[in-house]
Structures are given as structure tokens and as C-alpha cells.
Amino acid sequence: MTGTILAGKSGSRATLTISYPERRNALTILMWQELAAQVRALSRDGGMRCVVIRGATAEAFSAGADISEFGTARSTYEQVVRFHEEYVGGCLGAIAACPTPVVAAIQGACFGGGLGIAAACDIRIAAEGARFGAPVGRMGFPLALGETEALFRLVGPSVTAELLIEGRLFDARTACEKGLVSRVVEEDDFERAVAATVENICASGILAARSHKRQIQRLMRDATAVTSAERMEVYSFAESEEYQHGVAAFLAKTDRQR
Amino acid sequence: MTGTILAGKSGSRATLTISYPERRNALTILMWQELAAQVRALSRDGGMRCVVIRGATAEAFSAGADISEFGTARSTYEQVVRFHEEYVGGCLGAIAACPTPVVAAIQGACFGGGLGIAAACDIRIAAEGARFGAPVGRMGFPLALGETEALFRLVGPSVTAELLIEGRLFDARTACEKGLVSRVVEEDDFERAVAATVENICASGILAARSHKRQIQRLMRDATAVTSAERMEVYSFAESEEYQHGVAAFLAKTDRQR
Amino acid sequence: MTGTILAGKSGSRATLTISYPERRNALTILMWQELAAQVRALSRDGGMRCVVIRGATAEAFSAGADISEFGTARSTYEQVVRFHEEYVGGCLGAIAACPTPVVAAIQGACFGGGLGIAAACDIRIAAEGARFGAPVGRMGFPLALGETEALFRLVGPSVTAELLIEGRLFDARTACEKGLVSRVVEEDDFERAVAATVENICASGILAARSHKRQIQRLMRDATAVTSAERMEVYSFAESEEYQHGVAAFLAKTDRQR
């Protein structure tokens, strides 16, 4: 068996499943490419409201990049550049650029490239048994700068140093205390909690949800203060049917309550 | 009854109270303008040491912008721009620009525009029963980018995503764990804790306190590294009487202890 | 007795000890200079893997700058500028620029300039009894902007405001919750925990560890997005013997496990 990305879609929700159970859902280059392609396809669907990325088994979200490809795909400088810029970077960039909110639903091992995927998502839900880390230094190489940057934007310098310089592994509670995941739920409650999160995201107006994602991505990517022109662009929501309907519905409800 | 901002001043301390009990201290446009005007007036008082902003009732700091004004003041693009840039943005900008430290003393609901005010303050104290959120997406519109930016500078991308994309509400303990408030105190201890915070702020030299606020605002507003010229400007404290007296008093005390 | 910096070196590890027990390891100007010189000397040692900075006694990491020098070295504007730019700034800059990861091992008082040193390190381990603060405002002066900036990059605006505007002191647990230290350990476990942290850092490839430190420092110092050229420079690890050996060893181990 080789690994793959399973894609499921139900109306305005989609789930992408990292599946390579024999290797704790490690990611081969083909899987990085397939995950990127699936995210890009969902990005073109204007009715999509929420994408979930998860592992195929409770054992792992993803144990990281598939080690067995090191010899053939990560030996030379040229291979390393292509691996990080094209395969990993292409996939993480697709998640960040996806106009739809993306949730990482994390059980078990979330290491290296798996942690990179989780960090690229907008919301991270972890089951109690989840474990996090990126101890790549012990294999003799640093994390690529683009991947370090994404971690840094999420958790700041001190937690990034613990992960990379110390090679620390965090259990789910510690990861939550350190801001690496949004919340921790019991294993038995995991599926229900992920479903509830999806419903909460879908309860937003679709334009509002997309604007919120775009705003946060802008602030993460570019540390300079927002400009007046950028603020004006966001106000265009006022001309949408979604807004006009929302306000009308709200006022009607308020009137009825009087 | 319509809402208002109550202003009290006692020597070098002032309290501004958001008062509209019938609507959980929601903010009308007149109240946004009045709060801004009061903050600007206190900003001109060179002897002011600490401003507290709070709600008139234990039920709410502020439930947010007054919904009943949607139809008349937030229907069109032009109205929306004016609402956020002039009324809300003007008020939040006045708090951030106030040379005096501003404390948000938060009991009960702290939602939407109320959360924006709390985020613009320098220190946030919450009572146990306080609740936080900005689930505006459910009404069909996004938070304005300037308001998202202020939240983002305070709590980072992941917590901002929980608040806006998921529309989550946080109780006081969770808000504290996530860095949204500085500390949580029991309801019975709330008034005493706010008073103690004010005293601690007033225990600083007035120039030192103002320099600290200005420094932090500079770092929030502008992510670029501070320059040598900016550092030099701060050192001008050395020429103040406050500094010379402080050092002399300290040395005298140290001498007596020998 | 006057204070000094004790330096110990054992192979690829070094420990720098702030020693002035009579004054809770307060830092005189000579000690700031000596600490900077020691860090710079270790920075030139290409085989160095980890530097620990600590206090000489369990009572204090460092109580801050030595107050008794105020009268002679911090009275005038020129003295203040030299003190912060040359002595304090020179030392903190040397720690940040040290290519080797630096660990702050913190017992007891960690105040003012001591907190500045801890914040300049990459990893902070605190014993249960450690206490943190920088209540300089009460002496009538603000923290220097460069030192505020370092705190701000570490813990953000709200915690910086608590430390400087309120003059709060944090116990070790609170400091950890607020992201000021990486972890807290029991007093009896302190030496063992510091040693384990050093071993974990030294378990990284030396080039990988140095790259991780450099990457994080770049992201702290400069908030702009990393460029393609910066990413390419990091990939040069692929041409190192360390990387080639690491990958070969890993693949050999993986083969044996099949």
C-alpha cells in the first residue's frame, strides 16, 4: 500500500484525510502534491464553507514527511529546495490561500510536516492523546525558514525555540497552554467536537467567514499596519445581499421581540 | 431612557462608565462619540495618571454596538464606512492615543464593540462571570479590518480566528488563558482588585507611566524594529525632575539602610 | 567583595554565572561588560553547542542593575545613554547575536536588568520559587525602549503593560502561563532539568541548532515576511557533512528495522 489523500465533500463542507496507516499517515511527495491539488480544487468552489484536514487513523494526524524518500528526493541541495519550496511550501501555501476556513482535526502524532500542515490551518482541535513536535535537528538539519516562519507567527519565539532548538514534544494540554492548538477535547468527544466546530464556522455568513480568514491571513503575512485602502475594501461587505438580508432579518427579529 | 457615558474624576484618576442598562450597556453612536470626547478631554489633562473604563451594571461591560441603529446608521456602504472609521475607529483610536494608561474593568458581557474597547485599553481586569466574544459573522458581516487588527495585535492569529471564524464565546478563565484579559478575579473582589490596579499604576512616576504606554503603543502600531533615534528620545527622561528626585530618594534610602 | 561573572566550559557546553551574592547577583557596569565579553568569546568558538546563564545563588538569577551605581553612572542624560546603549544593550545584543543557543536557568529574583538578560536568551527554565518583574516606574523612570522591545517581542503588549505600567511581579507559575518562561520545575529538580535541557539542545546537529537560533532571531528582529533569498540561504544545510551523515544514518537505521 502507498499513501493517499482521501477527499469527501458534503454540500458546503469537505474533509481531506491524510491516509498512510502503515506509516502513521506520513506524507510522501505525491501526497503533498495531492493535498495541495485537493485544497486548490476546493478553493475554486464558491459555495464551500469549511474544509477539515485530518488523519485516517486515531494513531496520527501525520507523523511528518515520509522518511524513506530522503535518499531519492532530499539528498542534494537542488532536491532539498524543490522539496520545501515546491512540495511542502506549495501545499502549505495552498491551505493559507484557501478562501474557506480550514480546520485541523488532530488525533495522535502531529510531527514535522504534519505540524506544518496543522499550523497552516485556521483552527486546530486536538484530542487528548495528540502529541506535537518537530525534532528535525536530531536528524541533522534545520526546519526550512518558511516553515519556521509559520510556526513563529502562530506561537512566537519562545515556543518555536522549544520545538526546534530543544526538540521538545508537547502533549495536547501543553500544546494548548502554549497556543499551538485552539482547544483539547477527550478522545470520545473528538468527532462530536470537530462536527460542532464545523457547524459553528458554517453558521457565519459565507462572505463574512471568508473576509475573516482573508483579514487574519493578511495580518499574519504582513506585519505592517493595515492601510486605509485595505480597510475600505473590507467595508464592501455592506453592499452584499448577505449583509442586507442579515440586517433585515435581525431587525425583524428585534421588532418581534418588542 | 437613552444610553450615556458617565464621567467621574478624582484628582489624578478618572472613571468613564458605559451606561445603558436597558440594553446591557450597548453603545449608540452618540455614546461612541461621547466616550471618544471624554477620553480626549482626559488626554489633555497633564496631571491625569489612570483612566478606568467600565460598564454601569455588573451585567455587562458592554454588549456591543446598539443593534437598533442598524437600519438607520449601518445600511449603506457610506454609513458603514462612517460608522467604523469615524465613530468606532475614532473612539478606539482616542483610547490608544490617550497618554495616560487606560484600564478596562470588565464584568458580564463584553461583546463586539465592547470587546473592541477592552482590547484598546492597556490592562484588562475581568470578574469571574465576564464573557467575551464577537460573533458578528452570524449576522452576516465581518469585523472591520481595523478592529480585527487590534484583536490580532493583542492575541495573535489563532485566538482571533476562534473569535471571528468560529464565533466562539469565552468565559473569563478561558479569556485569561488565551491572553485576552490580564487577570480574573472573583466577583466579590472585583471593586477592590480594580482599585488596587489603579493604585499600582499611580505608584509609577507619571512620566515613566506615560513613556511605558507610548512605547508599547509604538511597538503595537508599527512592527518594524525601533530605531536609534526612537531610543534616544526615550532617554530624555534622564533630564526630568521626576527622575532626578527618584534617584536621589532611592540613594538616600539605600544610604540609610547601610 | 565586588561582583563578577564566573565562566565554566566543558567541551561544547559553557556556563556563565552572575555572581554578586551580597546584592542578590545585581549587575554592576563591570559585570555587564564582563558578561558581554564572555558571551562574545564563546560566540567565536565554532564547536560550542550550548551556553547557560544563571545566578550564583538560589536566591537570585539577578536582582537587576546595581542600584549603588546610579549616582555615578546614571545621573546625566549622557550617562543614561551610555549605560543602556553600551553596557546593557551591548550585553543583551551579544546574547541575541551569539550563534549558539543560550539558556537562562532562573532561581529566585529575576528583576529589571536580570529579566532583560533572561528575555534575551532563547530558552528560559524557572524554578518554582523564581519571581519576575521590572517595576522601574516606581523609581521614576521608564524601561529603555530597546529593553521594552525585547520584552514585547517575547510576550506581547498586554503582559508588557502588566510588567511596566502596573509594575506587577509574577511568580514562576504565572510567568509560565504568560509565556515569560518556557517551563517551571520544582526546586529539587532544577539542576537536573537544566542539565536535561542542555542535553536536548546538544542532541541537535550543531549546524541545525545554529540555523534554528538564527532563523528565530531573524523573525524577532525583523517583522517583514522572509524573502526567497533568505529561504535559499537556509537550504545550504543540504550541502553540509552533518546533513549527509544524518540522512545516511537515518536511512541505515530504517533499513535495519525492516
pLDDT per residue as tens digits for the range C105-118? 999 999 999 999 99
* Mean pLDDT lowest among B15-29, B174-188, B214-228, C62-76: C62-76
Please check whether residue C151 is in contact with residue C110, taking contact to mean a CB–CB distance below 8 angstroms: no
- Predicted local distance difference test score (pLDDT) of residue B179: 97
Q: Which residues of chain C from 82 to 111 reach within 8 Å of chain B, CB to CB?
A: 84-85
Whether A226 and chain B come into contact, CB under 8 Å, resolves to yes
Length of chain C: 258
Q: How far apart are the CA of C218 and the nearest CA of chain B, in angstroms?
A: 11
What class is the A4-202 domain?
Answer: alpha beta
CB contact under 8 A, B165 and A101: yes
Exposure string for B55-91, b = 16+ CB within 10 A, e = fewer: bbbeebbbbbbbbbbbeebbbeeebbbbbbbebbbbb
Q: How confident is the model at residue B257 (pLDDT cuts 50, 70, 90)?
A: low
Q: Which residues of chain C from 137 to 156 reach within 8 Å of chain A, CB to CB?
A: 153-154, 156
Prediction ipTM score = 0.96
- Predicted local distance difference test score (pLDDT) of residue B258: 55
Residues of C in contact with A222 (CB under 8 A): 224-225
Q: Report the distance separating Cα C122 and Cα C182, nearest Å.
A: 9
- Name the residue ranges covered by the structural domains of chain B: 4-202, 206-257
Please check whether residue B228 is in contact with residue B145, taking contact to mean a CB–CB distance below 8 angstroms: no
- Predicted local distance difference test score (pLDDT) of residue B67: 86
SS3 for C138? helix
* Mean pLDDT lowest among A111-120, A189-198, B114-123, C132-141: C132-141
Q: How confident is the model at residue B63 (pLDDT cuts 50, 70, 90)?
A: very high
**What percent of chain B has a predicted confidence (pLDDT) above 90?**
87
Residue A223 has pLDDT above 70, yes or no: yes
Please check whether residue A132 is in contact with residue A170, taking contact to mean a CB–CB distance below 8 angstroms: yes
Indicate the helix (H) or strand (E) that contains A93: helix A89-97
Q: How far apart are the CA of B113 and the nearest CA of chain C, in angstroms?
A: 19
Average confidence (pLDDT) over C48-77: 94
Nearest CA among C216, C221, C156, C87 for reference residue B227:
C221
Q: Report the distance separating Cα C16 and Cα C9, nearest Å.
A: 9
Residue B216: partners with Cβ closer than 8 Å, 6 or more residues away: B122, C148, C152, C157, C160, C161, C164, C165
Q: Which residues of chain A from 163 to 192 reach within 8 Å of chain B, CB to CB?
A: 177, 179, 182
Could you please report the per-residue DSSP string of C178-231?
TTSSSEEE-GGGHHHHHHHHHHHHHTS-HHHHHHHHHHHHHHHH--SPPPHHHH
Q: Report the distance separating Cα B160 and Cα B178, nearest Å.
A: 10
Rounded CA Rg of chain A: 19
- Phi/psi at C139 (5° precision): -90, 0
Q: How confident is the model at residue C99 (pLDDT cuts 50, 70, 90)?
A: very high
CB contact under 8 A, A122 and B161: yes
| pTM for the full predicted model | 0.97
Exposure string for C191-214, b = 16+ CB within 10 A, e = fewer: eebbeebbebbeebbbbbbbbbbb
Q: How confident is the model at residue B246 (pLDDT cuts 50, 70, 90)?
A: confident
Q: How many CB atoms lie within 10 A of CB B43?
A: 17
Torsion-angle region of C66 (φ positive above 0: left; ψ -120 to 50: alpha; else: beta): beta
Residues of A in contact with B137 (CB under 8 A): 203-205, 208-209, 212
Q: How many CB atoms lie within 10 A of CB C118?
A: 30
For the segment C231-248, what is each residue's pLDDT rounded down to a tens digit? 999 999 999 998 888 878
CB contact under 8 A, A223 and C223: yes
Is pLDDT larger for residue B258 or for residue B10?
B10
Residue A212: partners with Cβ closer than 8 Å, 6 or more residues away: A101, A204, B137, B142, B143, B148, B161, B164, B165
**What percent of chain A has a predicted confidence (pLDDT) above 90?**
87
Residue B45 has pLDDT above 60, yes or no: yes
Average confidence (pLDDT) over A83-96: 98
Residues of B in contact with A244 (CB under 8 A): 75
B contact chains, 3+ CB pairs < 8 A: A, C
